Structure 1
Amino acid sequence: MKIEIWSDYVCPFCYIGKRKFEIGLEQFEHKEEVEVVFRSFQLDPYAKKNTGMDIHQVLSSKHGVPYEKAKALNDHMVQQAKAVGLDYQMDKMIPTNSYDAHRLSYYAKEKGKMKEFIERIMKAHFTDSLDIGDHATLVQLASEIGLDVNEALDVLVNDKYNENIAADKAEGSNIGIQGVPFFVVNDKYAISGAQPSQVFLETLQNVWQEDYAKAKAEEHKLEPSLDDYCSDGTCKF
């Protein structure tokens, strides 16, 4: 079973949704047979780096709401994160552009470390208050999960993996994704948003029943059994 997760590293619901999915997956009987694939989706490709603004100011400016309202919304987000064991530090968060982090994630994928990189990059942004738009910071985070420092820097400096981001953007547009997190199961079932972990678990169970349990039952019918040889009082050769 394949699960594709479309997300942005600066999206607070994406980290929460990722954790809720992981909680649901952990309870899934066939979790070892699930392949998780992360896809990139920038909510704001034009977001600036080094704005000098806090996340409350950014939200206030972007959506035209008072600063106090923006802070209250972010404080509520902190509580939602806490419910799934995440420690959001919204007051200290550094707003930035996530494009380079997405590019580096594809280098991590090439090295078999995408899962580790995405967890580290989200924690860095939401909990550790690090600037994930800064190249030096990204290289340091890559090194922490065992990636080569020089190779990671080469990716960032020479604009590698742009084509991966473009391909994700095109496919996301074809699917009709307008917000993240967005989960696609076996290319035909979709879950939008940071749904409860039970929703993820039930979806996995239903898809398994539809796509795999029936197939295994049919496969079992093809296997020889005593009934094939001995039935109706006779045994066949």
Structure 2
Amino acid sequence: MQVEVWSDIACPFCYIGKRRFEDGLEQFVHKDQVQVVYKSFQLNENARTDMEYDAYDALSARSGMSREEAKTIHERVAKQAKAEGLDLRFDTLQLTNTLDAHRLLHFAAEHGKNNEVAELLFKAYFTECKHVGSHETLIAIAVEAGLDSKATAKMLVSDQFTDEVRVDHLEGNRLGVSGVPFYVIDRKYAISGAQPTNVFHKALEKAWNESQPLTVLNPTSVEAGSVCENGVCKNK
């Protein structure tokens, strides 16, 4: 079973949702047979790599609310995250364009490190408040995940995986993704938002049960009960 997760490194609910989904997956009996793939969905494709304003001013500018109101909203989000064991430090968070971070995710996926790098990117951005638009930061994350530093650096100075990032975004749009996080299970069921752990667990169970072959609860033979086979109807 495959679960595709459309998310952005700069989305706090994507980090919160990641933890809740993982908790739901941990409770799932068949968790070892679930493949999780992180897809790219940039919330602000036009963001600059280096920004002079912080998260509070950014929200204030987008929404028209005051800086204090924006700070209050971020504090509420941080409180939600804390309940999941996450430490979101909006005061010192460094805003940036996440394209290169998403390119790194695609590079990592080719080496079987998609999930590991996704976790490290979220932690670096929200908790360690590192500049995830910096190639130096991204190379360090890649090395921590077990990827080659030279190969990572070579990828980052090129435009490799840029098209893949855009394709992920467009594919998400076609599936109905307008905001993240967005989870798609076997291209049959979708879950929008950082839902509670039990929602993810129940969705995994439902998708799994419906994907399994039909189970016959009693033997189907003329000896076992009343049945018609090969044009002949018999009763035990």
TM-score scaled by structure 1? 0.90
Alignment partner, residue 174 of structure 2: 174
Higher helix share: 1
Deviation at 1:30, TM superposition (A): 1.1
**Structure 1 residue 59 corresponds to structure 2 residue 59:** yes
**Structure 1 residue 25 corresponds to structure 2 residue 25:** yes
Deviations 1:139-181 (A, max 9, x none): 1111111111111111110111112112112211211210000
Alignment partner, residue 183 of structure 1: 183
Cα 1:58–1:230, aligned 2, differ >3 Å: closer, same or farther? same
The 5 A counterparts of 1:41-190 are: 41-190=41-190
Q: Secondary structure at the match of 1:3?
A: strand
Contact 2:55–2:95 (CA under 8 A) maintained in structure 1: yes
Aligned positions, number: 225
Alignment partner, residue 14 of structure 1: 14
Distance 1:2 1:147 in 2: 24
Give the letter aligned to residue 156 of structure 1.
Answer: L
Q: Secondary structure at the match of 1:91?
A: coil
Q: Which runs of 4+ in 1 moved over 2 A?
A: 227-232
Alignment partner, residue 215 of structure 2: 217
Give the letter aligned to residue 204 of structure 2.
Answer: L
Give the letter aligned to residue 24 of structure 1.
Answer: G
Q: Secondary structure at the match of 1:92?
A: coil
Alignment partner, residue 234 of structure 2: none
Structure 2, gaps ≥5 residues long? 226-236
Q: Secondary structure at the match of 1:217?
A: coil
Alignment partner, residue 235 of structure 1: none
Q: Secondary structure at the match of 1:56?
A: helix
Q: Secondary structure at the match of 1:88?
A: coil
Cα 1:231–1:194, aligned 2, differ >3 Å: closer, same or farther? closer
Distance 2:194 2:47 in 1: 23
Worse overlay, 4-13 or 51-60? 51-60
Contact 2:99–2:162 (CA under 8 A) maintained in structure 1: no
Deviations 1:179-229 (A, max 9, x none): 0000001101110000000000111111122222xx1516x98xxx7x749
Alignment partner, residue 231 of structure 2: none
Deviation at 1:231, TM superposition (A): 4.5
Q: Secondary structure at the match of 2:38?
A: strand
Deviation at 1:72, TM superposition (A): 0.5
Alignment partner, residue 197 of structure 1: 197
Identity level (%): 44
Structure 1, gaps ≥5 residues long? 233-237
TM-score scaled by structure 2? 0.91
Distance 2:37 2:215 in 1: 28
Q: Over aligned residue pairs, what C-alpha RMSD do you find?
A: 1.6
Give the letter aligned to residue 6 of structure 1.
Answer: W
